[in-house]
A and B are shown apart, each in its own frame.
Chain A
Amino acid sequence: MSVGPAPSGDPILTVEELHVSFATEEGVVQAVDGVSLELQPGEVLAVVGESGSGKSVTAMTVMGLTRSPNARFEGTAHYKGTELIDAPEDQLRQIRGAEIAMIFQDPMTSLNPVMKIGDQIVEQIQEHEALPDQQARERAIELLEKVGIPRARERIDNYPFEFSGGMRQRVMIALALSCNPSVLIADEPTTALDVTIQAQILLRMRELRDETGAGIILVTHDLGVVADIADRIAVMYAGRIVEHGTLDEIFYDPQHPYTWGLLGSIARVDRPRPERLPAIAGLPPSLSDRPSGCHFRPRCPHEFAKCVEVPPLEARLEGNPEHRDRCWLTPEQKKQLREVRPGEIGLAAKSTGADAA
């Protein structure tokens, strides 16, 4: 499941120095602040962070879904030679749904309640391909079968309210896959589902990735989800990527104190249960008024003088140029602070704010 080094080759989607800000009544909200990402065909890239870290905005901006008179964009996002950020709407429309498809967080509200699910899938197929009704419908039935909807031939004429949450998310996946996209962006696809369904949906997504070879960007706050499916992980905090590496690197050798906090706050069945689940002290900063230097500074138990300068996202470990982070601590200091015990994944619960304070 997990790969060693980051796969090299030509990325299918490249985001470079993406900045997104929104003008609001409370001032300018800098939602995304210099994010760079690469997605290889057939890989699952997880973008992880708390709410308000800019992960969803990054994903939606790639699709052109954050465009509004109040939004400002800088940077680039290249998909197969097309520049997505300032592409005209008509050009973007041909990519949306056909080349880059998206699965949203809440399957209960993401489907049109008054339209049969079959019509909603057929509508998308026919938007991108000149297919007669009957053939488009057959394709929709196949898709529904593929994502595991039983009796798809009958169910295609049902309305969304006749499906459970998990089934609706499968419909959303079928919808996203209907034109064989090369990139699938899944924005918290399992957050609204219960745990057993989550596993099924993730499994299905992984199978489909293997079948179609699409690259998947998985946006989530749930590291448990990530452990199941991701090849590479980008951890975001307050609009910036603070750490980037392979699944193994992030889980076994995390470098940024924020990543330690995230890993420390997962409930684990293979460890003695702590009195309370550790949490990262404090709240994420407001995106319209972020601390200078390292954004995590006010919540970081290991803050020191240098943290008022913005740490660059760079490789700090010798011999691994793909594992990058934004923390001024030296790798040796990090090692000591983490108190890694051999054989354990990630770090000890004591490593961050909640308990150290």
Chain B
Amino acid sequence: MGRFIVRRLIQMTFVLFAVSIMTFLIFNVIPNGDPAERMAGRQPREAQIEAIRKEWGFDDNIFVQYFTTMKKVFTGDLVSYFTQLPVGEEIVKGLPRTLSLAIGAAILWMFVAICFGLYSAVKAGKFADRFLTIIALIGISMPVFWIGALMNHYLGYKLGWFPNGGYVEFTEDPIDWAYHLILPWTALAILFIGFYSRVLRSNVLDTINEDFVRTARAKGLGERQIMIRHVLRNSMIPIVTLWGLDFGAVVGGGAILTETVFDLQGVGQYAAEAVGQLDVPPVLATTMFAAFFIVLLNAIVDILYAYLDPRIRLQ
């Protein structure tokens, strides 16, 4: 376990380093990407641009620029080029929103997908299975910005059943918090429900034909116990892996569209706005934040995997 953690930490350092370099370089070669020109406003004078360049260090060697920026990332002094607000604070402000969205949606999609997938497998070939298959395909095919906007418009604005976007702190009012998040959770979860229930269905159908399930039946166990203790447990192993990875991806920027549609002001939305303005510091910080979560969740998935499947040993 100790060795496993050390190895993952080294891996994480490497990934963060690589991600930061790539992000930094990309924004340096993007046409029209000179921050000084953009910061100087419309029709600036050359002297103004030059002053900004000096002040922010844009005239330095690119390695020096990278180094000073990275130093700021770790000391928390990184500041947005355009809003002049500290990036760290913005991310900390957005984090509970993003996590609220991601955790709730992840629980929702896992739970519903297990129900759908299991039911679909048990009823394989029958009407219920076909119906759920069609529903799943529709779910997979609907882009979140479209279904999110529809929900917001009809359920939020027209019918007034749900708030029209926005976010309430959990600590302020947990019920209102959940109430504001129901639509975003659902919109984000739909795609994953479709996908996961399909994967689970096929895993369950594979597992049902395993010899040990026949053994369980020969032991005289009930169908429910066979399905849950023997079939589901074995079918869940690949799903849990997916779950961890997708959760990491959603926290690290996969929820950009959902956050934007429902105006949740999370990290994803912050990143999206920064990209639109070619604002390098927030983009860099949010990208590294995303990479951090993805690597972290990868490690957690591996630990979970070893727990779920005793044949696997961490090293």
Contacts and interface: CB of A to CB of B under 8 A. Distances in A.
Q: How large is the interface on A (under 10, 10 to 19, 20 to 34, 35 or more residues)?
A: 20 to 34
Contact of B221 (A101, A106, A127, A172): A127
A123 B308 contact: no
A142 to B, nearest CB: 18
Contacts of A159: 310-311
A95 B230 contact: no
B158 interface: no
Q: How large is the interface on B (under 10, 10 to 19, 20 to 34, 35 or more residues)?
A: 20 to 34
Contact of A114 (B216, B217, B225, B310): B310
Interface in A44-98: 63, 65, 89, 93-98
Contact of A96 (B212, B218, B234): B218
Contacts, number: 76
Interface in B203-234: 210-212, 214-223, 225, 229-230, 233-234
Given A159-B311, A161-B311, A128 B214 contact: no
Interface centre among A63, A89, A112 (most CB of B within 10 A): A112
B241 to A, nearest CB: 14
Contacts of B220: 93-98, 124, 127-128
Contacts of A110: 211-212, 214-215
Interface in A106-165: 106, 109-115, 123-124, 127-128, 159, 161
B311 A113 contact: yes
A166 to B, nearest CB: 17
A81 B230 CA distance: 32
Contact of A112 (B212, B218, B222, B237): B212
Nearest to A176: B218
Given A112-B234, A161-B311, A123 B215 contact: no
Contact of B211 (A63, A104, A127): A104
B203 to A, nearest CB: 13
A175 interface: yes
27 contacts: A89-B223, A95-B220, A97-B220, A97-B221, A98-B220, A102-B218, A104-B218, A109-B210, A109-B212, A110-B215, A111-B212, A111-B215, A112-B212, A112-B215, A113-B309, A114-B233, A114-B234, A114-B237, A114-B308, A114-B309, A123-B221, A127-B220, A128-B220, A159-B311, A161-B311, A175-B215, A175-B219
Interface of A: 63, 65, 89, 93-98, 101-102, 104, 106, 109-115, 123-124, 127-128, 159, 161, 172, 175
